[in-house]
Chain A
């Protein structure tokens, strides 16, 4: 499914204290990396409600990155452990729903690890290019017969209604 012109749309949830600063560092250090991740800054990876992830995918994102401080280094003591547990449970749920596991990735990057974050983004973009577009809303399409079937029902009932009330 993948092709050369496919540029994945990826939503990135980065924590304020480590990963977002890693992204800042990657910028000021002029590290080159793929431009596909739209970054949303949150105070903590523990703030990432799984709803954000499913909503991003349902609204057309091809992948999601969640990034936070390394385990043990959370600004809020242990909330990144909650992020980790949620990520694992969410991933098993998404896999059951047919979303390839590589589309949603959890990354730990400290404020000093601009290079690491840039590499993780490059890897995520490469993984998703390999998987191809997700186009989730197209899953809801019914094949052609739906509108015709609805019209048939209306027509049949109108014929049955010809007798005045």
Chain B
């Protein structure tokens, strides 16, 4: 691939349980997409190019050079596609937060399939009135012509690497254009890090944040709508739950720059087994109290949804992966 005279490589993009933003983010590399098109035949890119699953299935194993796979694994169809893309690709990149850590779709691991379906088909303000018979998707439906199948919807959303072997990770929700381009260049030049690496920086957002930092002591946490923070001082010191202290750098501290706390979309740095646990460890240690009751009060008043705050992007990829199911 390093030699421009060689035949073009094959590039695939695929999406599973995601919002589609990752696929659009690839287009944010602007005119450089032409360089990508010059180096690769794009064999699959649901959002931007034609490409049929059947054609992929017909390819010999390992014939796609690089597959950028975004989205978590939520249904049997997505699991099948993850296995297929793994088999057909030399390099499989877990692209973006959903594939890597579960991201926002992974937060539905706080519920079961039954609860998700209840919300969507029974209680939804737009769906319930048109579904008085409480019709729900069935994996099998018999019709005169035969049996129709729908994919199974899982109780627990899995990350890509909980499903198949993954070569590289690209963090972010979505990955920033600059980092996508860096990864593509690394692939083109054959200068990839060891297998299993995250293609990105290995320090925290605080290192990229220009705000002034002093000693952190927090008596009260505020939610973002409760205060207008000053634009100079560290947001965490002002009582906003800024996740920068535990979050992998690489974004240039985009959110703190615009007076909004980091929400942690890049996940943890290398060696962090559980992003949320690391973040809550750091946040808890700056609570300015030694009294158990006061500590409990500060937490419950300021952080009413600890899972949503600490595991917003990483619940599915965390050690516990989901909320305990009621019967098990």
Instruction: Give A contacts to B, CB under 8 Å.
Output: 49-51, 53-55, 57-58, 71, 78, 81-82, 84-86, 88-90, 92-93, 96-99, 135-136, 138-140, 142-143, 145-146, 149-150, 152-154, 156-157, 160-161, 165
In order of increasing CB-CB distance, the 9 nearest A-B pairs are: A98-B324, A149-B76, A50-B277, A89-B284, A58-B319, A93-B306, A149-B152, A51-B277, A85-B284
Select A85's contact among B80, B152, B287, B307, beta carbons within 8 Å: B287
A-contact bits for B288-318, CB 8 A (1 contact / 0 none): 0110100110011001011100100000001
Q: Does B48 contact A (CB under 8 A)?
A: no
Select A161's contact among B57, B152, B306, B318, beta carbons within 8 Å: B57
Q: Are B276 and A85 in contact (CB under 8 A)?
A: no
Select B324's contact among A55, A82, A93, A99, beta carbons within 8 Å: A99
Q: Does B139 contact A (CB under 8 A)?
A: yes
Whole-angstrom CA separation of A85 from B276 in the bound complex: 15
Whole-angstrom CA separation of A145 from B139 in the bound complex: 9
Contacts of B326 in A (CB 8 A): 98
Q: Are A84 and B292 in contact (CB under 8 A)?
A: yes
Contacts of B318 in A (CB 8 A): 54
Q: Are B307 and A93 in contact (CB under 8 A)?
A: yes
Contacts of B278 in A (CB 8 A): 49-51
Whole-angstrom CA separation of A149 from B303 in the bound complex: 40
Which of A89, A92, A135, A154 has the most chain B CB within a 10 Å cutoff? A89
Q: A85-B287, A88-B292 are in contact. Are A156 and B149 (CB under 8 A)?
A: yes
Whole-angstrom CA separation of A146 from B149 in the bound complex: 13
Whole-angstrom CA separation of A55 from B274 in the bound complex: 8
Contacts of B151 in A (CB 8 A): 149, 153
Whole-angstrom CA separation of A146 from B73 in the bound complex: 12
Select B53's contact among A82, A145, A157, beta carbons within 8 Å: A157
Q: Are A139 and B306 in contact (CB under 8 A)?
A: no
Whole-angstrom CA separation of A22 from B105 in the bound complex: 46
Q: Are A51 and B328 in contact (CB under 8 A)?
A: no
Q: Are A97 and B323 in contact (CB under 8 A)?
A: yes
Which of B77, B155, B280, B321 has the most chain A CB within a 10 Å cutoff? B280
Select A82's contact among B155, B285, B319, beta carbons within 8 Å: B285
Q: Are A97 and B281 in contact (CB under 8 A)?
A: no
Contacts of A157 in B (CB 8 A): 53-54, 57
- 13 further A-B contacts with Cβ under 8 Å, apart from A92-B306, A149-B139, are A49-B281, A54-B277, A85-B284, A89-B284, A89-B299, A90-B284, A93-B280, A139-B320, A139-B322, A152-B149, A153-B77, A157-B57, A165-B58
Q: Are A54 and B274 in contact (CB under 8 A)?
A: yes
Q: Are A153 and B321 in contact (CB under 8 A)?
A: no
Whole-angstrom CA separation of A50 from B276 in the bound complex: 9
Contacts of B53 in A (CB 8 A): 157
Contacts of B77 in A (CB 8 A): 153
